[in-house]
A and B are shown apart, each in its own frame.
Chain A
Amino acid sequence: MNTAAPTGFARIAARFAALAAEGRAGLVTYVMGGDPDIAHSGKILAAIAEAGADFIELGFPFTDPMADGPAIQAAGQRALAAGAGLAGILGLARRFRTQFPDIPLILMGYLNPVLAMGPVRFARSAREAGVDGAILVDLPPEEDLEIREVLAAEGIALIRLATPTTDASRLPTVLEGAAGFLYYVSLTGVTGQKSADAGDVGGALAALRQAAKLPIAVGFGVRTPEMAAAIARIADAVVVGSAIVEQIGAAAELGQPGNCAPRAAALVAELAAAVRNARL
């Protein structure tokens, strides 16, 4: 068993260890699974992995994405219109995993589709598909115990979020039971709407590092290679979502689904270069 490739928590930890050895931050890329349809979404995942994504956050759609801005809302609507559901997204994950055994794969979405599938079945299917972590946007620490344990039993990390409103008195609640990495939401708002300020983020990260033992990824409002580089100098990983999703959306809305993967990959390649060079 010692020779088997790491999975779940361990695959995430192995990737952060490799990044630390390289002396650089990781690039976490978010795309909505099933956008613009399952077949093209599979091509997008492969293309962004080959373009240099260190981690993949794979969204699963929900009709009512309260924490998302227009780009990811529209992506979810395209995915739903094309018939994608959580089961289809798990199928995408399974195919991705056979091609890319080392890239951690994190599912991201809202709670209700998971409840509809049943948390136990979701956790088992996710593990079988090679998923390593999950982010459930509308499941704060106070509500997550049951699902966290069900996921942990399958070796999957439920990743916690900290935000600018998470003050010092609340931080221990967020960190207690946190796994995989800590996702720092760099601004108060929805995805893709405002721009993060690296100076503000730096101050917040200093406080988080005092308390958190986990690696810290920073996301929300990171849109360009320059911003990604600025965050990569201070965080363990940088998350870019809406900017990539906008590239996919632009091609999809033009009726050119075949262009989604190249456009997404072109941006990911720029982001990956910026993140790799940030600390040189």
Chain B
Amino acid sequence: MYQDATRPYPAGSGPAGNDWSALPDSRGRFGDFGGMFVAETLVPPLKALEQAWRDAMADPAFLAGLDAFLANYVGRPSPLYFAERLSAHFGGAKIWFKRDELNHTGAHKINNCLGQILLARRMGKTRIIAETGAGQHGVASATVAARFGLPCVVYMGAVDVERQKPNVFRMNLLGAEVRPVNSGAATLKDAMNEAMRDWVTHVDDTFYIIGTAAGPHPYPALVRDFQAVIGREARTQIMAAEGRLPDALVACIGGGSNAIGLFHPFLADEAVKMYGIEAAGHGIDTGRHAAALTGGRPGVLHGNRTYLLQDGDGQITEAHSISAGLDYPGVGPEHSFLKECGRATYLSATDEEALDAFQLCARLEGILPALEPAHALARVGEIARDIGKDGLIIMNLCGRGDKDIFTIAEALKTRAGNSP
């Protein structure tokens, strides 16, 4: 995984000669995006984190320890599975699922949490904080905190605490303290604000495990590096199964950590197309969506410059999605960069389309996907048909749907009630 990973970036190809691994630059920028837009108090700790991360990633002992936990605790490598019936249903390219929903705790989030907690230990930090929306990152953070015996506080919007009760209970069982956040709109962005406020107050002993590839530098790059295990495995697995690279990668985008984890090891392979699928909520034109790249514009929030949902005065507007995990008004800065330079294509899927895709996957493949990757599933059929019969697609099935069954039951009931 890490130790045997040969960096798949051919020398002399990339943004500066096609070396995509050279980004971010020394200022934490991906082109015009990223950076370190934080209060002065947090600049020194972020620089210390950057140094610790660079040292750790160059330390074979650290990487070996991470690999061992990924193999035996998380259950990596996750399988690459040929979704035969779904592929036949769409009648286009062969669709392979990267099954990160089979990880311990049920999503890709644990890959990053494990990396960050090992970093926290290496830095001598004794307290963990995290933010969470749907609760998946909160559960993964609480899990690794329990495993390594560190106290953990998870900030969660009061609205999300209410709509994701099973995950709140899970976090409590794991020994974490869940602090409901009532400020602002009481959802994920406010939970992140509150986690930042905690960090700035307890900066000496506390490690902030950010859950997505966003936030101030070095988090977008650090989270990406810990999630890139997804793409490295997928690359090896598709070569073994098909003897060639895929034609396209597809993943859902909230902050975008599962997508950048899949995409990054393929960035230098120009023939591999990349599709990120944002949450269109009720529809982009209704304004009630979570598609920052499709329906937002660049600005600065949570420490980085990126595409954001905002009004004309630069006030951040609320995201809307049936999927709490995509319900964020920003997006990781590397995705903003990949959009601007045209390396990746960003599409969107509505709540209704995601629900349809969820049901299709359940019935054809016997897999309940989380509502987040159900958004990717909602576009994968069109992409498969565009590519055609001989093509290959890898879609990141980044989370399992058990957490969503009540939300889905409610939505389907409403839908049944609305039909004539």
Contacts and interface: CB of A to CB of B under 8 A. Distances in A.
A binds B: yes
Interface of A: 61-70, 73, 77, 80, 85-87, 110-117, 137-140, 142-143, 160-167, 170, 174, 185, 188-190, 193-194
Interface in B294-320: 299-303, 308, 310, 312-316
A161 B203 CA distance: 17
A135 to B, nearest CB: 11
A92 B275 CA distance: 47
Given A77-B184, A115-B314, A138 B39 contact: yes
B32 to A, nearest CB: 12
A188 B301 contact: no
Contacts of A138: 37-39, 300, 303
Contacts of A185: 39-41
Contacts of B190: 64
Contacts of B244: none
Nearest to A167: B44
Nearest to A163: B41
Contact of A69 (B37, B189, B197, B204): B197
A251 B27 CA distance: 45
Contacts, number: 123
A64 B201 contact: no
A176 B184 CA distance: 36
Given A64-B316, A116-B314, A161-B40, 18 more contacts: A62-B314, A66-B38, A67-B200, A70-B183, A73-B184, A85-B315, A87-B313, A112-B301, A112-B310, A116-B310, A138-B37, A138-B303, A140-B37, A165-B44, A166-B43, A174-B40, A188-B201, A189-B200
| Size category, B interface | 35 or more
Given A137-B39, A140-B37, A189-B201, A112 B193 contact: no
A160 B40 CA distance: 9
Interface of B: 27, 35-45, 183-184, 189-190, 193, 196-197, 200-204, 299-303, 308, 310, 312-316
A114 B314 contact: yes
Nearest to B217: A142
Given A111-B300, A115-B300, A142-B36, A165 B313 contact: no
Nearest to B297: A116
Residue with the highest number of chain A CB atoms closer than 10 Å, among B35, B42, B300: B300
Nearest to A116: B314
B45 A66 contact: no
B314 A64 contact: no
Nearest to A160: B40
Lowest 4 CB-CB distances: which A-B pairs, in order? A116-B314, A113-B314, A85-B313, A189-B201
Contacts of A170: 43-44
Contacts of B315: 61-63, 80, 85, 112-113
